């Protein structure tokens, strides 16, 4: 059964809180690096790596460069999960 976008969001929230060291941060689909304190290039690498590990997927650099916000990242995660055998 495929995950719902809300379920993906719930699984990535603790990753964002941990990587950004913001214990009460409630990441939303509209958030992006320019709207979230501490989301710099190093944090971005750590977020991507942790999300890949959480879901057992791999992102291509080109895919990540096109993402505009967390919601688009969730869509990409769902697409990657749907492509798995």
Prediction pTM value? 0.93
Four-CA torsion 71, 74, 76, 78, nearest 10 degrees: -140
Chain segment 21-52, per-residue pLDDT in tens: 999 999 999 999 999 999 999 999 999 999 99
Domains along the chain with CATH numbers: 5-83 (1.10.1200.10)
pLDDT tens digits, one per residue of 42-83: 999 999 999 999 999 999 989 988 999 999 999 999 999 999
**Distance separating alpha carbons of residues 49 and 28, to the nearest angstrom:** 19
């Amino acid at each position: 059964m495929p995950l719902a976008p809300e379920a993906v969001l719930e699984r990535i929230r603790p990753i964002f809180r941990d990587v950004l060291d913001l214990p009460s941060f409630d990441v939303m689909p509209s958030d992006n690096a320019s709207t979230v304190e501490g989301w710099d290039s190093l944090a971005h690498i750590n977020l991507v790596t942790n999300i890949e590990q959480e879901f057992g997927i791999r992102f291509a650099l080109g895919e990540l460069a096109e993402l505009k916000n967390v919601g688009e990242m969730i869509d990409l995660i769902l697409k990657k999960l749907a492509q798995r055998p």
